[in-house]
Amino acid sequence: MLDHEVSALSSDASAESRKMTLEELPVQLSDIERAAALLEGVTEKTPVAHSRALSRMIGSEVWVKAENLQRSGSFKVRGAYNRMAQLSEEAKSRGVVAASAGNHAQGVALAARRLGIQATIYMPRGAALPKVAATQDHGAEVVLHGANVDEALAAARIAAEETGKVFVHPFDHADIIAGQGTLGLEVLEQVPNVDTVLTGVGGGGLLAGLAVAMKAREAQGGRPVRVIGVQAENAAAYPPSLAGDALVSLEKVSTIADGIAVGQPGQLPFQIIKELADDVVTVSEDRLAESLIFMLERNKLVVEPAGVVGVAALLDGKLQQTYGDLGTTVVVLSGGNIDPMLMLKVIQRGLAAAGRYMTIKMMLVDRPGELTHISSVISRLDANVTGVDHTRIGGSLAMGDVSITIDMETKGHAHSRQVLEALEAEGYRPVVVH
């Protein structure tokens, strides 16, 4: 068992200023290879699929690593099982406690069931109901606590101290990182000509594990691979932490990508990422929503927002501007556990971001035939009205005025502009709501 603990590091991540060698890092390639042997028959070697659409878009070959098809629906089971399988029999008998918004929870619960360990999982009160139910279905006890993952983590730590159960951190432990790194070994085997790997980043366990696998193999004479992490811009603690060479804690985290909604990097992952990762970039919420729809339509894969951040980075185009030709690229689709209610909202937002769904609001004179005329303008341009709401009552409405809101399906940004210009040409003043 690996005995590297977070406490082995200085509490100040900036204390180590010199460049660490691969041999000095808290996770080694040998640790990842041992984890791979341990996970044999437990986790799936998830497939990689070629994306013709993404390949055409960036001008080089793109493959997606479908970890959304992993057991428990995400990569998290790799690290959870590797950590828990190496506990002593006495520690296993005490049980484990963990905290998660969903994916780590399901990974721990699945590992606990296979290993015969009692598991208690703390989840935020707002955790997606399907993730809560899936965790319970694996036999774990779920305790809903706190408004976010950080509050759930604090409660889980206290519970571990009070009960003597083993705390299984979602990303800040060497065994966890080594388990996640097994995904990197699979990528190297499945796409041996890989040049760039993109993955989402929350606390950093997966990016750290991938970086060790890729860079250590390169040091042994293997192919050089660029390793890039991607964060949601409203939950991006890594860029300022890396820039300042010290852990930065965000005051607020707000993103649809709940799987990477982490306010502060983990100490161990940060130590590795600052030494080995090539970059950490950010993407917007609209780009995340658009990317989820892209994967549904083009690759027929259901991926949660945290799992499509790498796709979002490619759609954004900033990586191509920075690095030019990315070469053969592998994007890790890290999970597929998405609440159907969230999916409904994300799809609507993604369609709006792609210019395929538009809501406009405007003022009209209250007279017969006005709505019919507006409808004819819209239909003439082959846009499809899906909803209309109008009111004559409101503090900002003058006598004889009507406020109207129209939802419509359009065919892209250019088509949306045509509709707006046609309405303006008729004397209306449409305002795009979304």
Identify the band that residue 401 occupies on the pLDDT scale cut at 50, 70 and 90: confident
pTM: 0.85
Per-residue pLDDT, averaged over 91-96, amounts to 97
pLDDT in tens, 187-214: 999 999 999 999 999 999 999 999 999 9
Higher pLDDT: 232 or 14? It is 232
Report pLDDT for 355. 84
> Where residue 14 falls among pLDDT bands split at 50, 70, 90?
very low
| Tens digits of residue pLDDT in 285-310 | 999 999 999 999 999 999 999 999 99
Q: What percent of the chain has pLDDT over 70?
A: 94
The string of pLDDT tens digits covering residues 62-76 is 999 999 999 999 999
Protein fold of 355-432: Alpha-Beta Plaits (3.30.70)
Give the model's pLDDT for residue 347: 84
Q: How many CA atoms lie within 13 A of 400 on its CB side?
A: 2
Instruction: Tell me the average pLDDT of the chain.
Output: 91
For 296, counting Cβ atoms within 10 Å of its Cβ (0-12 exposed, 13-18 middle, 19+ buried), the class is middle
Q: What is the pLDDT of residues 134-186, one digit of tens each?
A: 999 999 999 999 988 888 999 999 999 999 999 999 999 999 999 999 999 99
**pLDDT for residue 274:** 97
Q: Where are the domains of the chain?
A: 6-74+174-349, 77-167, 355-432
Q: Is the dihedral of CA 336, 340, 342, 345 positive or negative?
A: positive
Q: What does CATH list as the number for 6-74+174-349?
A: 3.40.50.1100
Section 11-18 average pLDDT: 44
Q: What is the pLDDT of residue 172?
A: 95
Topology alike, domains 6-74+174-349 and 77-167? yes
Specify the CATH class of 77-167 in words. Answer: alpha beta
pLDDT at 399 over 60: no
Report residue 423 as tokens. 């309405």
More confident of the two residues 375 and 283 = 283
Confidence of residue 117 (pLDDT cuts 50, 70, 90): very high
As given in the structure block, the two tokens for residue 369 are: 């035939």
Residue 30 CB partners (closer than 8 Å, separation 6+): none
Q: Is the pLDDT of residue 247 over 70?
A: yes
Say how far apart CA 112 and CA 99 lie, in whole Å: 14
Rounded distance between C-alpha atoms, residue 81 and residue 96, angstroms: 12
**Active site amino acids:** 76, 334
Q: Is the pLDDT of residue 110 over 50?
A: yes
Q: Confidence band (pLDDT; 50, 70, 90) for 128?
A: confident
Residue 13, pLDDT > 70, answer: no
Please compute the mean of the pLDDT values over residues 20-34 and round it to a whole number.
Answer: 94
